[in-house]
Chains A and B, each alone.
Chain A
């Protein structure tokens, strides 16, 4: 158990819809990262938050947004969903500095029908 909690584990929805993925980081970790794992793109970094503020942005679509709340949990919002958004979405957390590795949650499997 990594200590990072992601909900829900599975999500099935239709094109054009909007979903919210939730992540609770490990106790003591200030930084949250979102990654997308798809068959064609592999594991891609989306966005990072550190103590409530956005720190880095990767290949995140404009239809996607995220935030980190005062209790440090984070949400990834995906809107106007397309078939190509079907993927496994991982949240990871770390202390956010130095050498410390990122610990991953179990992921949310998003299926767009």
Chain B
């Protein structure tokens, strides 16, 4: 069964600093997709960034980037120049090519200290 593990229940960072959130997953599939979603206190689920497993190049979206290590089954999220608005729960999610459902990790609560 596919599983996603986020080993850091909580993280904190100073405003303007860089923080990295960890995510590992377990799968026997070769074609799959990985996502990071952000859930602020307003409870919306907002897509932050996505990565296709067949692409070696790490995805980047403005201040957000990933470190995708396929062999290690690791998919970490780096947030540069942290802003107060980045404070939220962050969920790592996996979906394999043959299915549409997302499998989520337990989440990491990120606090930004001013």
A2 x B100 contact (CB < 8 A): no
B101 x A88 contact (CB < 8 A): no
Most central of A43, A101, A102 by chain B CB within 10 Å: A43
* Contact-residue bracket for chain B: 20 to 34
B106 x A42 contact (CB < 8 A): yes
When chains A and B are docked, how far (Å) is the Cα of A85 from the Cα of B91?
Answer: 22
B47 x A43 contact (CB < 8 A): no
Which residue of the partner chain A has the closest CB to B93?
A43
When chains A and B are docked, how far (Å) is the Cα of A101 from the Cα of B45?
Answer: 12
Chain B: minimal CB distance from A64 (Å): 16
- List which B7-25 residues lie within 8 A (CB) of chain A: none
When chains A and B are docked, how far (Å) is the Cα of A35 from the Cα of B103?
Answer: 10
Chain B: minimal CB distance from A95 (Å): 10
- List which B98-114 residues lie within 8 A (CB) of chain A: 99-107
B103 x A106 contact (CB < 8 A): no
When chains A and B are docked, how far (Å) is the Cα of A50 from the Cα of B99?
Answer: 12
> Using Cβ atoms and an 8 Å threshold, which residues of chain B touch A94?
100
10 A-B pairs with least C-beta separation:
A104-B45, A43-B104, A45-B101, A42-B106, A101-B47, A106-B44, A48-B100, A101-B50, A107-B43, A56-B101
